[in-house]
Every structure is written in C-alpha cells, then in structure tokens.
Amino acid sequence: MTDLLKQLRPEMTSLLNCFSAPAVLLCSDYTVLAANQAYRRVFGDGKPLQGRRCYEIMAEAGYTCRQGGNQCPLDTCQRSGTDQHVVHSGTSGNAQIDLYPIRNDNAEVVYFLELLILIPQSVVQSAPAMVGNSPAWQDVTALIRRAAPSEAVVLLLGESGTGKELAAAAIHQGSRVRNGPFVAVDCSGLPETLFESELFGHEKGAFTGAHSRKIGLVEAANGGTLFLDEIGDIPLNLQVKLLRLLETGYFRRVGGVEPIRSQFRLISATHRPLERMVEEERFRQDLYYRLNTFPIVLPALRERLEDIPPLAEAILQRLPVAKGLQLHADTLDMLQHYDYPGNIRELRNILERAALLADDVWILPEHLPANLQHLPGQKKPGTANAVSARQSSVPGVAEIIPLAELEEQYLRWARGSYGGDRRSLAQRLGVSERTLYRKLDALRSHTEHVVEP
C-alpha cells in the first residue's frame, strides 16, 4: 500500500474528480488509495479515507458487501482480470458498482477503479400486485414465475392495456437483478434521431443542442432490467443498432467513438403482430429471433371476464377518488358483460369516471358509460337491491338509530353480503384484521344472548 501510494501521481485524484459519481482507487487488499469529491461527500465522516478498507466505509453508510450476501466485484476482478458490473443491495438503497482493473506498462494490474451509482430506496420500486384467478391468468402467472429467475429474454405479447408493463415489472421483481434499476423505454412516438439519443445517450457537441454529455437509457439499465415497450414501433435503422447491442453487449453514444458496455436483463413488449411484420420486412427477422426467446401472451380482458370482480376491487382500492366506495352487484354484472377493447386500462378509466359520479357509498349501474348499459345477457338494472341502495346510503337503515346499533347492523350486513375473505373485508372496512375479529366475536356473543321468540 505505501509503495503504491508513492507511485500514485497527484493527477490521479484530480482525474477522479472528473467523475460526478463517487469514485475511488483501491488496492487489491480493499484499502482506499484515493477518493474523489463525490465519494468523500457521500461516504466521508470527517476522518481521512485513505488507508481504510472500502467495505468498512460502505458498511458504515448502510451499503453492505459480502456480509450482506452481495458478491465482491474486487474479488471477481482479481480472479478474472476483467471489468465487473454488479448491484449491491443495502439498507440505504442499492449501489451499482462498476469496477475496472488499472494496469501498468507491463500489463500487470496495479490497482482498481471503482465507480458507484447510488439508487436510493425510494427509487427501488416494487411492482403492484397482479390481480386475477381465471385459468387464462393462472397460465400467464405460471410462465412469469418460470421466466423471472432465468436469464431468458422475454417477449410480452397482447393487446394494449392487458398489463404487459406490469408483467415486465413483475419479472424484474422476481429476477436476479431485482435490486438493480428497472428502465422502461417507450419505443413509440419519438422521431428516430431523438429516440437514438434517448436510448444510447450522446456526447457533448454531438448535434446542435447537445450542450453536455447525456447518459442513455441503455446505460442506465446496467445491472438491472431494460424493458423495451412497443418494440414493434422501433425504426428499421435503430433495429440494426439494437441488434448489435444485444449481440455484443456494447454500444456507442451518439457522437461517441468509445464502445460502452451495458449488462441488463432484456424484456420487450408489443401489441403488434411481429411475425407478420417480419414477413412484410417491416421488422428484422434476426432481431425478432433474439427478442422472442420466451414469448408470453397476455390474455385480453374479455377472455377472463371472471377476473373483473377482484380486478375492479383492486383498482378501486388504488384510486384515491374511490375511497370508501363500493360496487353495487348490478354494476358488477354490467361490467362483466362488456368486451373491453381497451382492456384493464379501459376498466380503470370506467371505474374512475364512475367513482367521480357516485354520490354516496355505491357505484350504481347509472354511473357507467351508456355503451355498457343494456348489453345482451345483463340482469335488468333497478332490482330491489339497487332501488334500496339508491334510497339510502346505509344498507338496511331507514331512520336515525344509535351509532352502536348502526355499527352492529352494518357489520352483520357486511359479513353476510361480502364475497371475499376476512382480511380483505377488514381492509375494506378500514380496520385491522384483529379488530374485525374482535367486533365479529362481540356480535356473535351478543346474538347468543338474544333469546329468540
């Protein structure tokens, strides 16, 4: 270490300061030789960093190394002699670590450059739960569970709004790179040149307006998942560049000459008929084969109408405007007879609109759009239940009664008419499961004490 410090030129620290991310030079025994300003800002504690072990400094800042089950890139680099790119998970968030061996004139590794990209916990998002129980949906979730932990390149196919992006996020969550970034790229709608610089980044001065270097989405996905949504819309020119990236793992920023490596799990999605596009030469066949290693077709909502009650329930719970609202049985029946060309996204829009129109706790058939009314097979709206729901916002109560009695009546009604389990009933009632059990117990003992005439 002392010898190495002597050899280290003062320019080195100045060079490290060119990186805006934390950067350090390390010895093979994990001691810090030099650190840049960003590293000192993030990890410094007032004491000198030089001579301390990198893993101790990281641990103090809440980023665990081997002891936290993470793989040490320095160890691997010493064995392989090649660059390492890993993501470490920690209590403060995740750290993407890029480690490069630095060699002398004799090509011997003398020290290591480590660059850190810190991903705060708030950015490490989890995928919202995917709701559904129908056989069609169970088939899909079985495929997602199988594909997620593998390295397979997944192609998600299905109509717009069927949940392809949600499925991609679920695959990322179940993958080995789950602690890395999930970078979703919408390949539709951007002009080709702009899209290229979004995807690959650009160097300063690459074109008019490129005032500084920009990191592209492919680079940002290093150590995580790159999700290419609407891949069928990617222009032919860019298809070639994408293919090269997938085959070599390298790309160049727009206006750059340096090949840059990015390692990521690839998932793509489209609602377009890719196979036909290949036949019509609108999509490259070689790229199609690269993307289509593990295809998963998401069913249209009309093919799983039995999932509408739990889906509607889950969507209402996530909608702030729907707080406290309930779907009337007639409304649910109407919803289950529509064919949803816009799939789950359309169901969500319908429910959001209905929630805004509802006056009290009930979302009634009349709150649904006109094109959902009077569809073949629907129950006739305006049944006794619907009428009573319209007359009174509290089920079964027509006059002012003591609050305790009202709670009892309401609980009896909720327990009798709610189709789900107790946990979700407790959630709907806004109480803990324990509280619900206690209240139901009290109800039961009260009923036992009532002497039936």
Ligand X SMILES: Nc1ncnc2c1ncn2[C@@H]1O[C@H](COP(=O)(O)OP(=O)(O)OP(=O)(O)O)[C@@H](O)[C@H]1O
Stretch that binds ligand X, among 93-101, 130-138, 320-328, 373-381 (CB under 6 A): 130-138
- CB 343 → ligand X: shortest distance, Å? 7
Output the DSSP codes for 310-366. Answer: HHHHHHHHH-GGGTT-EE-HHHHHHHTT---TTHHHHHHHHHHHHHHH--SSEE-GG
Q: Would you tell me how many other CB atoms lie within 10 Å of the CB of residue 311?
A: 25
Among 271, 284, 304, 367, binds ligand X (CB under 6 A): 271
Closest CA to 33 of 18, 13, 47: 13
Question: In the complex with ligand X, which residue's Cβ is closer, 226 or 436?
Answer: 226
Angle at 18 between CA 13 and CA 24, to 5 degrees: 50
- CB 289 → ligand X: shortest distance, Å? 22
Question: In the complex with ligand X, which residue's Cβ is closer, 186 or 360?
Answer: 186
Stretch that binds ligand X, among 164-172, 194-202, 371-379, 431-439 (CB under 6 A): 164-172
Residues 6+ apart with CB under 8 A from 241: 196, 200, 251
Among 37, 150, 160, 193, binds ligand X (CB under 6 A): 160
Question: In the complex with ligand X, which residue's Cβ is closer, 245 or 308?
Answer: 308
Does residue 181 belong to the site contacting ligand X (CB under 6 A)? no
Query: Could you tell me whether strands 182-186 and 154-157 are parallel, antiparallel, or unpaired per DSSP bridges?
Result: unpaired
Among 12, 15, 42, 131, binds ligand X (CB under 6 A): 131
Residue 31: both structure tokens together? 């001691």
Residues 6+ apart with CB under 8 A from 185: 198, 199, 217, 226, 227, 228, 229
- CB 267 → ligand X: shortest distance, Å? 11
Ranked by CB distance to ligand X, the top (closest) residue is 163
Encode burial over 345-365: b for 16+ CB neighbours within 10 A, e otherwise: ebbbebbeebbeebeeebbbb
Question: In the complex with ligand X, which residue's Cβ is closer, 271 or 328?
Answer: 271
- CB 186 → ligand X: shortest distance, Å? 8
Does residue 229 belong to the site contacting ligand X (CB under 6 A)? yes
Q: Which helix or strand (DSSP H or E) is residue 220 part of? A: helix 217-220
Question: In the complex with ligand X, which residue's Cβ is closer, 188 or 417?
Answer: 188
Question: In the complex with ligand X, which residue's Cβ is closer, 59 or 130?
Answer: 130
- CB 422 → ligand X: shortest distance, Å? 22
- Please say whether the beta carbons of 187 and 229 come within 8 A: yes
CA atoms of 413 and 332, how far apart (whole Å): 19
Q: Which of residues 361-420 bind ligand X (CB under 6 A)?
A: none
Binding mask 334-363 for ligand X (x = CB under 6 A): ----------xx--x---------------
CA atoms of 43 and 183, how far apart (whole Å): 27
Angle at 399 between CA 404 and CA 402, to 5 degrees: 20
- Between the alpha carbon of residue 384 and those of residues 25, 122, 213, 391, 419, the distances in Å are 76, 48, 67, 11, 19
- CB 8 → ligand X: shortest distance, Å? 51
Question: In the complex with ligand X, which residue's Cβ is closer, 187 or 218?
Answer: 187
- CB 347 → ligand X: shortest distance, Å? 8
Does residue 232 belong to the site contacting ligand X (CB under 6 A)? no
Question: In the complex with ligand X, which residue's Cβ is closer, 353 or 379?
Answer: 353
Among 101, 132, 180, 223, binds ligand X (CB under 6 A): 132
Among 26, 314, 350, 426, binds ligand X (CB under 6 A): 314
Residue 326: exposure state from Cβ atoms within 10 A (0-12, 13-18, ≥19): buried
- CB 436 → ligand X: shortest distance, Å? 24
Which residues contribute to the site for ligand X (CB under 6 A)? 128, 130-132, 158, 160-166, 229, 271, 311, 314, 344-345, 348
